[in-house]
Amino acid sequence: MNKNITLAMGNGGEENNELIGKIFYKAFKNEILEKSEDAAIIEDGKLAFSTDSFTVSPLFFNGADIGKLAVCGTCNDLAMMGAKPKYLTCSVIIEEGFPTRDLEKIVRSMKSELEINGAIVVSGDTKVVPKGSVDKIFINTTGVGEVLKEGISSNNITENDVILVNRDIGCHGSTIFTAREGIEISSDLKSDCASLFPTVKKLIDEGVKITALRDATRGGVSAVLNEWAKQSNICVEVDEASVPVSDEVNGVCEILGFEAMALANEGTFVLAIAKEDEERALGILKEFNSNAATIGKVTDRHLEKVILNSSWGTSRFLETPTGELLPRIC
């Protein structure tokens, strides 16, 4: 591990995992933390608890802004554990000189997204620091949710499960990069930033047998599947042709050499569902987004690995993303 922190250590990929494992997990080791879920399950399985910090640049982008992102990020982590978001804290670090008009706009976005989740902010903290000490504004949100369905865990995936995604992938990472670099493209490309609890609640209400859920943020779908393969000691085989990717995201990837599977998302999640409930789950997901799809299956071909099977009959390992991908995407 490097002696100094690098941007790659915040990418949600291999370097990020190493940083967390060798420093934070080593110091804070406990049974709850070691489960490595999107949110901690506490109080005898009754509550989910999660925290996240947001430093995205630019602050405003097509489809969302840092305020919407801050609420979606934490509420989605709770939803991925089958929990209804209920209470959030909101802490902000604001640079001296930041326009109050922009701050009001950000807070309005947060308020709107809280209403979608049926959650409220019950505590917070505000710090103002000298110009240059922080890049405009950083936001931290912590959330507590009521667990509606117990037992959802990325440590319990077996060959009885299939792998689905709720929509097309890579929109957030592509949107942030093109906005940051001033790349103008004639398309409808926008961030997928959205609250996922309404979708998860419908799956739960309909009795779908959910094994695991994970929102594919930093490191994208590739990071999620590799984490699952290791946590559950399984092999995940992905049908490359089945992975939904929009023409806009494909175009960005081709021009800039990105891999769509590694791009960040903020309203896209991966599901491990019991095989017998695959069609029912797909039907529910398609009510929210027509691009929902089954993308893979669980096997024992190469344990703790993800295999990408192409339409040409070839296969390759889909590795955990490495290097400096897209810093400051959330």
Residue 242 has a CB neighbour count (10 Å cut-off) of 15
Contact, 216 vs 224, CB < 8 A?
yes
User: Which letter does DSSP use for residue 168 in this model?
Assistant: -
Between CA 173 and CA 20 the distance in angstroms is 22
Between CA 12 and CA 126 the distance in angstroms is 27
Between CA 300 and CA 131 the distance in angstroms is 54
Burial of 77 (0-12, 13-18, 19+ CB in 10 A): buried
What DSSP assignment string belongs to 259-317? -GGGS--SS-EEEEEEGGGHHHHHHHHHHH-TT-EEEEEEESSSTTEEEEE-TTS-EEE
CA angle 58, 60, 64 (to 5 degrees): 125
User: Which letter does DSSP use for residue 118 in this model?
Assistant: T
Answer whether 7-147 and 161-317 agree in fold.
no
The pLDDT assigned to 244 comes to: 98
Residue 306 has a CB neighbour count (10 Å cut-off) of 28
pLDDT tens, the chain, 330 aa long: 788 998 888 877 888 889 999 999 999 999 999 999 999 999 999 999 999 999 999 999 999 999 999 999 999 999 999 999 999 999 999 999 999 999 999 999 999 999 999 999 999 999 999 999 999 999 999 999 999 999 999 999 999 999 999 999 999 999 999 998 887 776 789 999 999 999 999 999 999 999 999 999 999 999 999 999 999 999 999 999 999 999 999 999 998 889 999 999 999 999 999 999 999 999 999 999 999 999 999 999 999 999 999 999 999 999 998 877 667 889
Domain ranges of the chain: 7-147, 161-317
**Structure-block tokens of residue 144:** 């507590």
The pLDDT assigned to 315 comes to: 96
Model confidence, pTM: 0.96
7-147 CATH choice from 1.10.10.10, 1.10.3720.10, 3.10.180.10, 3.30.1330.10: 3.30.1330.10
| CATH 3.90.650.10 holds for 161-317 | yes
The pLDDT assigned to 223 comes to: 95
Residue type at 205?
D
Residue with tokens 């934070």: 24
The pLDDT assigned to 131 comes to: 97
The packing angle between helices 247-256 and 171-180, to 10°, is 50
Q: Is 115 helix (H, G, I), strand (E, B) or coil?
A: helix
